Structure 1
């Protein structure tokens, strides 16, 4: 398919929506744990699946942007540098800020959060065997980094090997999950093997498949596919709301996300969407929102306690304001910290002539 529009605003908007879903999920958990309140009837208890949407989007974007350098071994250095600069610097700043707070106010720290080994693993995003990273939401970034590294290997080896690497990885994940399902509760495994063969890694592959289909085929019935994706996503969310987390739930949300992303990209690649600038901005700010929302929730919780707002107004309104505060706080971090930092780093990269596009056209 010939792509007439290379910036797919719909997908950027989806990033923002996925980040908001995660914020609302954590707000739902916070409300239940601290106030014994089902926020908005626990309507967003499925919000953690925003992570599944993120993974499909990541797979799509990485393949879509880098498909021209498959097999160009010189392109792997700028690719990895770009991924490193996109993920780590702002993450390190936020992690360091939290560590300073934890050591200054140790009563707020969980026991593992001041452990040197845990701190070092958090900084490099090495997968954790039990506890969460210092920035709790960063557990997903370990999966992202692994995917980036495997895709980097595929860039060096070329499209032929890319297909086979991902086929072997996918088959291994499927076999591992079947063995786990058959073995039941008696199944034991190494946590690194669990990490590498986690079913969520399928979602990166679904994203890559989506980008491949958009770039190489005319997608028919795009509106119907989009509607089907929304329906599957909604029905899965309702089911999870009523029954809690179920085995292989990622399969349903991953497929639904694949359908939505493929259909939306197929439509917009031929006819650009006109979306509110605020929604696009939220997508741009989604990484900062994702990394900082727990911090802002805790700050607002202190304000709630000090001003006794829950007693005055009931829990629902203050908790909704808390979610809004967390989203706005993340957007401010993006505008004041992440965006300027990215601008500085991009200028630094360009001065050294290691931009992916330059390598691809050489």
Structure 2
């Protein structure tokens, strides 16, 4: 099998991560546009940047498939997987949550006990509200996606205890929420906002939400990408890239703004198709990727989680500027919000995410090394 060079594979994947993060920031910054014509433009084009969330989910499934191919079923492998996933997302999430708690404390003038309980809830990835239509009402509002991410990691981690049957285990764990429950309810609704009958159960609301299908799409993309027979000839690879470009360009016509879910109208299916076409084409063609796009992919998690903190700085900057032209003010505000969102993500990545994640990861791995039992010291490969 002729695989593309690993570096090239990482580059195009990192670039897509960067695009996903910036798309989300563009969507949120677009809501600052106040002129009627600009509002219409934001709704027609910028609002579709919310599909960056769907892209993140597909990429997550894809990475989970690729990085666990060498699973040996050992407890050590599962422990290393869990540590790396935890260290990847939780330390920065904790810091940002504490910042939000501190701001709420300052605003209230006293310790906000109810808000603190909500922060604790989100730190264990439990939706504060079971209603998807409310984005689970987490204090860090964009963190609703992390609840799904954590659930998916748990499913994958459980499956890693078996080398031979792990994908059957994944299917068995996901099927009750994605297949059995809709069959029993006799209702198939693939919109993220659909409120299931188990809305009173916060964790179960995640299990039956159709957004989980997008992780499955990513797993399927990973499986297909690793098949010997899935490498296209160069003309077909070029046609795939062209098709992906056309699908991306037509998103404003096929996708309803601000919707999520695994369909064309909700966007998830289109995002999956674009991703799969690019992934398969990359096996034949070395995709040229600018270094700044790879950089954006590297800091994408921080951008996603902290860009609204950057918006606070942007609001202060705009209050200092004296621009009287309404059109110029509108676009200046949009640009300032966009730049501040990305810059804040970069700041948090280098000052908090990268060093803290490394420290937590190394600390936990050293701790498990000291506590390991003889049967725990298998020589299986470790996920990356």
TM-score where L is the length of structure 1: 0.84
Q: How does 1:218-229 map to 2 (within 5 A)?
A: 218-219=229-230, 220=232, 221-229=236-244
Structure 1 partner of 2:293? 279
Structure 2 partner of 1:122? 122
Q: In the alignment, which of 217, 234, 240 is matched to residue 228 of structure 2?
A: 217
Contact 1:228 1:259 in 2 (8 A): no
Shift in Å at residue 331 of structure 1?
A: 1.3
Structure 2 partner of 1:15? 17
Distance 1:113 1:174, change over 3 A: farther
Q: Find the aligned partners of 1:212 and 1:2 in 2 and give their Cα distance.
A: 16
Greater displacement, 285-294 / 221-230: 221-230
Structure 1 partner of 2:263? 251
Structure 1 partner of 2:331? 316
Contact 1:40 1:316 in 2 (8 A): no
Contact 1:22 1:48 in 2 (8 A): yes
Structure 1 partner of 2:39? 38
Distance 1:345 1:169, change over 3 A: closer
Q: Does 1:237 align with 2:239?
A: no
Greater displacement, 64-73 / 310-319: 310-319
Contact 1:11 1:264 in 2 (8 A): no
Structure 1 partner of 2:217? 206
Deviations 1:12-58 (A, max 9, x none): 100000001101111123435x9995174432111111100000000
RMSD: 3.4
Q: How does 1:165-184 map to 2 (within 5 A)?
A: 165-166=170-171, 169-170=174-175, 172-174=177-179, 176-177=181-182, 179-181=186-188
Q: Find the aligned partners of 2:75 and 2:211 in 1 and give their Cα distance.
A: 28
Q: How does 1:42-121 map to 2 (within 5 A)?
A: 42=43, 43-69=45-71, 71-106=73-108, 114-121=114-121
Q: Find the aligned partners of 2:163 and 2:66 in 1 and give their Cα distance.
A: 15
Q: Find the aligned partners of 1:204 and 1:116 in 2 and give their Cα distance.
A: 31
Q: Which runs of 5+ in 2 are unaligned?
A: 370-376
Q: Find the aligned partners of 2:155 and 2:104 in 1 and give their Cα distance.
A: 34
How many residue pairs end up in the alignment? 353
Structure 1 partner of 2:306? 292
Greater displacement, 343-352 / 50-59: 343-352
TM-score where L is the length of structure 2: 0.80
Contact 2:303 2:344 in 1 (8 A): yes
Distance 1:204 1:41, change over 3 A: closer
Contact 1:125 1:141 in 2 (8 A): yes
Distance 1:113 1:298, change over 3 A: farther
Q: In the alignment, which of 117, 139, 143 is matched to residue 138 of structure 1?
A: 143
Structure 1 partner of 2:156? 151
Q: Find the aligned partners of 2:166 and 2:305 in 1 and give their Cα distance.
A: 34
Structure 1 partner of 2:348? 333
Q: Which runs of 5+ in 1 are unaligned?
A: none
Contact 2:32 2:330 in 1 (8 A): no
Q: In the alignment, which of 343, 352, 355 is matched to residue 358 of structure 2?
A: 343
Deviations 1:251-292 (A, max 9, x none): 223333333333333343455434221110100000000011
Distance 1:300 1:37, change over 3 A: same
Higher helix share: 1
Distance 1:341 1:188, change over 3 A: closer
